[in-house]
Structure 1
Amino acid sequence: MKSPFHNTNANNRGIGWQLGASLYRVIIGYGLAVIVAVPLGLLLGQLPILRAGLNPFIQILRPISPLAWMPIALYTIKDAEECGIFVIFICSIWPILLNTSFGVSRLRKEWLDVARTLELSWAGRLWLIILPAAAPTIVTGMRVGLGIAWLAIVAAEMLVGSSGIGYFVWNQWNNLSLSNVILAVLLIGVTGMILDTAFAALQRSVSYAE
């Protein structure tokens, strides 16, 4: 613990290195979820028929536990690193998708009427009206999704990880080092708080008084 970023071998890595590995996986998996969920949510919010058609599938997949996806991911992907990223993606995509769709579908009709009066193009309506109006709801979904992603990666790494903060907790428990386990748990909590605080600030910056 005196050298948190040392990396001697696969079984001897510092807690700082392990935390960085977890954050890397979260950034990749969560980033992919945002890239997929936001455009799809914008589409669903504007097309009620498509939203109604996909909603049953979303409601079936959304409650599935992150750990329940692990056996399927391991069988199909066969790589622990990519499995962790997939679990983050599949668990964090739903709140982003649903909140984006909800925010767009709840846009005031008057705002869209103004866009038509001004003869704005689809891209103009999206950039000047839809995204700014739905931004608070979208960021709320992203904030929830990030919290789920952080929970999911710790659990996934404890199950099949060879690195990461979740793996570190489990490995230290197997070594009967309770002090290191407690330190890692506190670090997980502090990191989660920092991530949530950053998104809270972003949420306030895009909020507006109706």
Structure 2
Amino acid sequence: MRQPEQSGPGWFAGPAAEALLAAETRAMERVLVGVPALPWLWVGGDGAEYPGSESRRGVHLARTRRGFGGDLHCVLPWPLVSETFGAVLLQHAFDGREDTGALLGECMRILAPGGVLWLAGLNPWSPYRARWWRAGLSAHGPGYWQSALARAGFPAGAVSLQWLGPRWRLDDDGAGIGAADRLRAGIALTVSKRVHAGIPPDPVRRLRLQTGLGSARTHAGALRQGPGPKP
């Protein structure tokens, strides 16, 4: 029986993960280009490296056994202000862990309206799974993540999907959305936090219209009645 190349979540620090992480880094950098003014948050699993952006607006959190380390040492809920971040990048932040709903809920809370969530995970349908099988990691298909995002409040119909990394060769760090790309090692989902429009003042306008109509009817009735019986 084939043994895993490296056990535990530390698999991402090994050579088999290099091409996948390189493709993910380029994808994250493209996301950050779209949020030039707001701060952003990166959350990664063991061995993942946050994007080498020159911006100092990034907050970096690494998963630990007891919570999160990096720029902050904390647990959920995060000590971060609501609706502040332009992007949240989750790079294998769930692999081998069961706090999907709580973590996505925090992402929804801290994202500014129109902010972008980018989520990367392993592709369970890729031949590359033989390289991380029995390494203490977990993988889910796009349908699982789309349902999880919808439960957290993200718009289910606005999720874009991309496949990243190698199909089998260690030096293949490509990406794409075609049929052949569905065999790549990783998947990445991107979704924006929906902007809720204000409630239009329709009820007020309707009430004013009804009031005016009622007054007009009363006035018309008074005119029909005339000045009263002649003497």
Q: TM-score range by the shorter chain?
A: under 0.3
Q: What TM-score does the superposition give when structure 1 sets the normalisation length?
A: 0.27
Query: Is the radius of gyration larger for structure 1 or structure 2?
Result: 2
Structure number with the higher strand fraction is 2
The structure whose RCO (Cα within 8 Å, separation 6+) is larger is 1
TM-score normalised over the length of structure 2? 0.25
